[in-house]
Amino acid sequence: MTTVLLTVLSHGPSSYGQGGMMVFDPSNFAKNTITAAQMIKQVINSTKEVELMLQNLMATGGAWEETLRLLRRLDEVVATGEALHYQLTHLDQTMHERYPGYVNPGRWIPKYTQWTTTSLDTLRGTLNTVQEQLKESERAREETLLAALKSKTENAQGNLDVSQTGNMIDLQIIEEQRKIRHLLGALINAQNVATAHQINLQASQERVIDDWFERSQIPVQPYRGTAGFGPDDYRH
């Protein structure tokens, strides 16, 4: 900048008159001074523009939630004991084996114990899933993350930082939706198993009663006169 100013000021503020004597021209000097000042101002503005461009490309880091870690833990707790849950490889086959419907269960006590254990373990797994998501440590971690996102929004340094902060917020919304989907799946799972337990219990009871009535049927012999009914009349 100093070189530009000296160059401008050294050419034009004076001229040589007759006899080779230097003549000072105040108006020309003033014009050259203004021109030099404008050039310096343009250089300063250009420098600021470059600084802003660099600032727009500056990233200040991210604030992320490790939702995958939480979802894996939720998958573990939903598989409690003999629970019938959506993580089972052969879910449809296992569901049919546990709750066959209108079928004679055979020995009642072992089967009833299995139905009850399956239903209660499924409900326990669902309750554990809710507990994992809503326990105090998870809530504190979410509060810390939201505070970090709020701070990044308020103190964004440039366009790139603003864009990245917006993307982080969008990703956090998606992560929350994933957790809601997991809770909804656990709820539907528990409701289906509880309903299957009730339907299967009623159907099994009706089948046992129907089989008992079927086995208790005997043919009714007609009356054959004064001799009455003989012992052969009731033989099968």
Please tell me whether residues 48 and 96 are part of one structural domain. Answer: no
Q: Which of 50, 63, 47 is nearest to 158 (CA)?
A: 50
Q: Give me the pLDDT at residue 20, please.
A: 53
Mean pLDDT of 80-109: 91
Check: CB of residue 124 under 8 Å from CB of residue 82: no
* Crossing angle of helices 159-215 and 136-154, rounded to 10°: 150
Please tell me whether residues 44 and 80 are part of one structural domain. Answer: no
Please tell me whether residues 25 and 48 are part of one structural domain. Answer: yes
**pLDDT value at 1 more than 70:** no
Please tell me whether residues 113 and 164 are part of one structural domain. Answer: yes
Q: Give me the pLDDT at residue 146, please.
A: 82
More confident residue, 91 or 21: 91
**pLDDT value at 155 more than 70:** yes
Does residue 229 lie within any of the structural domains? no
Please tell me whether residues 151 and 107 are part of one structural domain. Answer: yes
Domain containing 45 equals 2-56
Does residue 91 lie within any of the structural domains? yes
Please tell me whether residues 116 and 199 are part of one structural domain. Answer: yes
Q: Give me the pLDDT at residue 2, please.
A: 46
Give the whole-number percent of the chain exceeding pLDDT 70: 69
Please tell me whether residues 117 and 206 are part of one structural domain. Answer: yes
Give the whole-number percent of the chain exceeding pLDDT 90: 25
**pLDDT value at 37 more than 60:** yes
Check: CB of residue 91 under 8 Å from CB of residue 193: no
Please tell me whether residues 22 and 101 are part of one structural domain. Answer: no
**pLDDT value at 228 more than 70:** no
Alpha-carbon distance of 62 to 229, in angstroms, equals 96
Does residue 61 lie within any of the structural domains? no
More confident residue, 22 or 125: 125
**pLDDT value at 65 more than 90:** no
Does residue 223 lie within any of the structural domains? no
- Taken in order 79, 84, 89, 94, the sign of the CA dihedral is positive
Please tell me whether residues 42 and 75 are part of one structural domain. Answer: no
Tell me the average pLDDT of the chain.
Answer: 77
Mean pLDDT of 162-174: 79
DSSP class per residue in 45-72: HHHHHHHHHHHHT---------HHHHHH
Does residue 220 lie within any of the structural domains? no
Q: Which of 82-86, 123-127, 136-140, 163-167 has the lowest mean pLDDT?
A: 163-167
**pLDDT value at 99 more than 90:** yes
Q: Give me the pLDDT at residue 121, please.
A: 94
More confident residue, 64 or 33: 33
Does residue 211 lie within any of the structural domains? yes
Mean pLDDT of 1-10: 46
Q: For the chain, how many structural domains are there in total? A: 2
When pLDDT is cut at 50, 70 and 90, the band that residue 205 belongs to is very high
